[in-house]
Amino acid sequence: MRYTPLAWLSLLLLLVVGVSACSKRDEHAFYNSGLVYCSESNPVTFNPQLDTSSTTSDATSHQLYDRLLDFDPDTGRIVPSLASSWLVSDNGLTYAFQLRRDVKFHTTDYFSPSRNFNADDVIFSLNRWRLASHDFHFVSGGRYPYFESLGLADNIASIKRINGYRIEITLKRRDSSFLANLATDFSVILSSEYGKQLMQQGFPNRIDQYPIGTGPFKFESYRKDHFIRYAKNTDYWRDITIAERLIYDITPRSSLRLAKLITGECDATAFPAQTELEIIRNREDLTLAEKPGLNIGFWAFNTQRPPFDNPDVRRALAAAIDKNTLLEAVYFDSATRAKTLLPAASWAFQNDADDTAYNPVLARKLLASAGIEAGFSMTIWAMPVERAYNPNATKMAELIQRYLKEVGIDATIVSYDWATFRRHLQDGLHDSVLIGWSADNGDPDNFYRPLLSCGAIPSGTNRAMWCNSDYDKLLDRALATDDLEERKAIYQQVNRLLYERLPLVPIAHAYRYQAYRNELKGMSINPFGGVRFGGVSKTL
Amino acid sequence: MIRILARYSILFILTLLVLTILSFALAYLFPGDVLENLTGITPQNDMQREALMRQYRLDQNVVVQFVHYLGDLASGDWGYSFSSGLSLREEIGIAMPATIELSFYAILMALLIGIPLGYYAGIRSYSVSDKSINALSVTTYSIPVYWFALILILIFSLNLDIAPISGRISLLFDIPPVSGFILIDIMMTENIDKGLAMRDAFSHLALPTFAVGAITTASVVRLIRRSVIDVKNRPYITAARSRGLSGWRIFSQHVIRNALLPILPLMAIQITTLITNAMIVETLFSWPGIGNWLIQAIYQRDYPALRVGMLAVSTLVISLTILIDLFNRIIDPSREKYERATV
């Protein structure tokens, strides 16, 4: 009996010695072999065609899949990807794509491809969202929000297979943003062979849960609220370094993501909070990359409800608020003041656009002449979630509430949980709302059309419920030309029109941030969509 | 002996019955649809709904529903989680062992550190070392576990950077959950560097185990110290001393056993406190145990998960309490007489 503690102790000692016996080199090699990314939430699906949220595209688009075309992250120009070259006909309606021959789909536990990527896969992938008659169109719900909001399916007349590695797409109307749309996170290429196999097995749903693509990583496993595991695609067609493993550690709390980044449990994190940026900047072992983001935070008025259908009232409200104060208080210098919908990162950005100014005297005068008496009450809807374009809508709403009080308006702040909030917005129950938009590609049409065109009211992205035929005509005219200067001139007219009618007050373009440990090499912010880990490596 | 076992089994079954009634009632008490709260399945159409109603006997009276519910629980059909859509039995099957594992190491720590320290303090009672041990244990005992865990994170993870703060092992290791106990699972996983994985798992275990174990250690120290001092003042110790026995012999032959016996039941009570503490600490260290899992279920209004989770946790606590009680009876039969006398 007396020796029992001694026996315990020696056992413990043995364990500690045995465990610490492995060499430092093995250890480094192991920890260097994989990347851990602390992501903010669960992806809705593993097919980005089905969802526009950035969580989904971060987890899928650039890891599991490739697109026909890509954006160059530095210049924003469209560069070849699965399509090695393309030709546009003189009338701008027919696009011919030459495809790469050496691309293999993922080989996993659940699928091994018998052939390389070819034209059938492109047709399969595009037709899935385009044609209701496609076998997989209604699998997983049958909604393709990105393509729907742009009306892309209606504009494609046909997709033809010329030969195994050449396809031709014919449009009904000219669309100078068409190539850009094919390069977005959502236009991924799926495997038609895998689709057929699943259909035969009777589990078509699995195509979006057990994804097969051509990207640098292949899917291994996913546990909701915990992790997503990816393994290296050893057959990847691009000659880049790819880590052996990639793991998404799903961590909704931003403070915990930062803590894990500091302890090295994560190598990179999504969406550092504005208040944490200073901490990251001050640490020598961390890097904070920032780039002006393709986004806009704004205050939209419900233009279908009186008195907000009156442009003078909207101008008065815009003049009542001081945008600079909002920027300082809500974004902590991590955003630039917005004059129009377009941020400076877009090629169509207009430097000398008109902007509203803080002028409470003018505001009161305009309100009086519009017949709005002191004590008028309205609602400000503040979105309940954090987004880069508006990290704290409630705080912003409170500031605006105070400004409005000065011009004699009583504002109440309204908020629901995110799903209910969006549903009520779509029903038009709001007077005004603080919300925003992150663009999916660098094309200006991606801001103007979803946010304010008549067609975007039913699809639920036009929060001002504003419909103006002049505006829609200008947007269509801009798409009908390939001359960038001419398009730019048209967008300047659009800006002018928006300034006069003011269906919404542009507030800020937020920077995009990415925080990662210095050991990571090859990380860069992709301004045109999701995060990418192909080409990223780690050296401890 | 058999009578004691029978009495405890009846007690156990009755308590479980009350708990299952409560858990079944929750399906009615939670907001929303009873069918959905009970099964976790949202029917897509009326036909499916009717089929489900029939399958779960929801079209009959409450007693039939409840009897069927008991059958489902027994056969492992615990329903599905709203938020993940996975079988609740599987989810709890992964979460529960993690909590048990953490609690087990914490108990181990409390016993390995608390017992020797308690004896030492008791033997050297009212000396400087005893007073310092006592002061330390009172301080540790008074610290709220939540705050204590945060302080540990601040010092050891964020400032000194010597221990990770979340999870059971670096996610770079792909350890499929077979038993649910991480150290056992590592041993059962092929194709990984087991030594490295073990070390990683230990470094993840260190802080949460310490956070949970420290408070229990403190109370074990205090209990043992008190008991040793009591035993030291007994006449038989004075007698032994007057016979000229050495200090060590008195300690090993008379004090150890006699001091341990009266406090075993008291130490056993600590286990339920410890599990509660473990569930709190889990949420801070993102430990994938049942406490963390229940908190997530509360956030996400996952009613089926709350219903079964409540049942699983209370079953665990009650089973442990009853087992410990039974154990106490067996090692110390005099307790029963005493209790009878008081009734």
pLDDT reported for residue A2: 44
Q: Rounded mean pLDDT of A520-525?
A: 86
> B165 and A22: CB-CB below 8 Å?
no
pLDDT reported for residue A16: 54
A410-451 tens-digit pLDDT = 999 998 777 778 888 888 999 999 999 887 777 888 899 889
Contacts (Cβ under 8 Å, ≥6 apart) of A466: A303, A452, A501, A503, A504
- Cβ atoms within 10 Å of B341's Cβ, excluding its own: 7
pLDDT at A7 over 70: no
> B83 and A224: CB-CB below 8 Å?
yes
Pairwise CA distance, residues A399 & A380, whole Å: 11
A12-64 tens-digit pLDDT = 555 554 555 556 777 788 888 899 999 988 888 999 998 877 788 889 999 99
For residue B66, tell me if it sits in a domain. no
In chain A, whose CA is at the least distance from the CA of B284?
A: A256
Pairwise CA distance, residues A166 & A78, whole Å: 19
Contacts (Cβ under 8 Å, ≥6 apart) of A269: A37, A38, A251, A257, A258, A260, A261, A514, A515, A516
For residue B33, tell me if it sits in a domain. no
- Find, among A427, A448, A426, A429, the residue nearest to A437 by Cα: A448
- Cβ atoms within 10 Å of B51's Cβ, excluding its own: 12
> A19 and B172: CB-CB below 8 Å?
no
Interface of B with A (CB under 8 A): 83-84, 86, 112, 116, 153, 157-158, 161, 163-167, 170-172, 174, 193, 195-196, 198-199, 202, 252, 286, 288, 296
For residue B28, tell me if it sits in a domain. no
For residue B24, tell me if it sits in a domain. no
A478-511 tens-digit pLDDT = 988 888 889 999 999 999 999 999 999 999 998 8
| Residue A12: Cβ-neighbour burial (10 angstroms; 0-12, 13-18, 19+) | exposed
Chain A residues in contact with B254 (beta carbon < 8 A): none
Question: What per-residue string of b and e applies to A255-280 under the rule 16 or more CB within 10 Å gives b?
Answer: ebbbbbbbbbbbbbbbbbbbebbebb
Q: A441 with A71: CB under 8 angstroms?
A: yes
Contacts (Cβ under 8 Å, ≥6 apart) of A43: A51, A55, A56, A58, A59, A60, A228
Q: Which of B158, B171, B193 sits opposite A263 (nearest CB)?
A: B158
SS3 of chain B? CHHHHHHHHHHHHHHHHHHHHHHHHHHHHCCCCHHHHHHCCCCCCHHHHHHHHHHCCCCCCHHHHHHHHHHHHHHCCCCECCCCCCEHHHHHHHHHHHHHHHHHHHHHHHHHHHHHHHHHHHHCCCCHHHHHHHHHHHHHHHCCHHHHHHHHHHHHHHHCCCCCCCCCCCCCCCCCCCCCCHHHHHHHCCCCCHHHHHHHHHHHHHHHHHHHHHHHHHHHHHHHHHHHHHHHCCHHHHHHHHCCCCHHHHHHHHHHHHHHHHHHHHHHHHHHHHHHHHHHHHHHCCCCCHHHHHHHHHHCCCHHHHHHHHHHHHHHHHHHHHHHHHHHHHHCCHHHHHHHHHC
CB contact A264 to B (< 8 Å)? yes
pTM confidence score: 0.80
> A5 and B172: CB-CB below 8 Å?
no
For residue B288, tell me if it sits in a domain. yes
- Asked casually if ipTM beats, i.e. exceeds, 0.85, the reply is no
Number of domains in chain B: 1
Chain B residues in contact with A227 (beta carbon < 8 A): 171
CA distances to A98, A255, B212, B248 from A9, rounded to whole Å, are 70, 39, 22, 21
The two three-digit tokens of residue A537, written as one number: 């490596």
For residue B8, tell me if it sits in a domain. no
Chain A residues in contact with B84 (beta carbon < 8 A): 224-225
Bridge partners, residue A222, by sequence: A228
Q: Which of A320-329, A369-378, A398-407, B297-306 has the lowest mean pLDDT?
A: B297-306
Contacts (Cβ under 8 Å, ≥6 apart) of A282: none
pLDDT reported for residue A348: 86
Bridge partners, residue A381, by sequence: A414, A433
Q: Which of B83, B165, B193 sits opposite A265 (nearest CB)?
A: B165
Chain A residues in contact with B202 (beta carbon < 8 A): 19
Q: A502 with A254: CB under 8 angstroms?
A: no
The two three-digit tokens of residue A94, written as one number: 């027919």
Q: Which amino acid is at A420?
A: T
Q: Rounded mean pLDDT of B218-229?
A: 91
A297-339 tens-digit pLDDT = 999 999 999 899 999 999 999 999 999 999 988 888 788 899 9
CA distance B1 to chain A (A): 28
> A251 and B286: CB-CB below 8 Å?
yes
Using pLDDT thresholds of 50, 70 and 90, give the confidence band for residue A8: low
Angle of helix A445-452 versus helix A484-501 axis, rounded to 10: 30
CATH number, position B284: 1.10.3720.10
- Find, among A69, A73, A74, A40, the residue nearest to A57 by Cα: A40
Pairwise CA distance, residues A441 & A455, whole Å: 19
CB contact A224 to B (< 8 Å)? yes
Q: Side-chain half-sphere of A335: how many Cα atoms within 13 Å?
A: 30
User: The tokens 């967008």 sit on which residue?
Assistant: A491
> A36 and B172: CB-CB below 8 Å?
yes
> A225 and B296: CB-CB below 8 Å?
yes
B147-204 tens-digit pLDDT = 999 999 999 988 888 889 888 888 888 888 888 888 888 888 888 888 889 989 999 9
Q: Which of A19-28, A95-104, A268-277, A358-367 has the lowest mean pLDDT?
A: A19-28
Chain B residues in contact with A21 (beta carbon < 8 A): 195
Q: With H, G, I as helix, E, B as strand and everything else as coil, classify residue A236.
A: coil
Using pLDDT thresholds of 50, 70 and 90, give the confidence band for residue A10: low
User: The tokens 């880590």 sit on which residue?
Assistant: A243
For residue B52, tell me if it sits in a domain. no
A138-148 tens-digit pLDDT = 988 888 888 88
CA distance B161 to chain A (A): 6
pLDDT reported for residue B4: 80
Average pLDDT, chain B: 86
- Cβ atoms within 10 Å of B41's Cβ, excluding its own: 18
Domains (range + CATH), chain A:
5-40+219-291+513-538 (3.40.190.10), 66-213 (3.90.76.10), 295-512 (3.10.105.10)
Alpha carbon distance, N-terminus to C-terminus of chain B: 19
Average pLDDT, chain A: 88
CA distance B249 to chain A (A): 12
Q: Which of A224, A229, A259 sits opposite B174 (nearest CB)?
A: A229
Q: Which of A21, A249, A263 sits opposite B157 (nearest CB)?
A: A263
Bridge partners, residue A432, by sequence: A301, A380
The two three-digit tokens of residue B184, written as one number: 């056992």
Domain of B226, in residue numbers: 98-170+200-301+319-342
A215-259 tens-digit pLDDT = 999 999 998 888 999 999 999 999 999 999 999 999 888 888 999
Looking only at the bridges linking them, the beta strands covering A376-382 and A409-414 are parallel
Pairwise CA distance, residues B209 & A191, whole Å: 48
Contacts (Cβ under 8 Å, ≥6 apart) of A370: A307, A310, A312, A313, A316
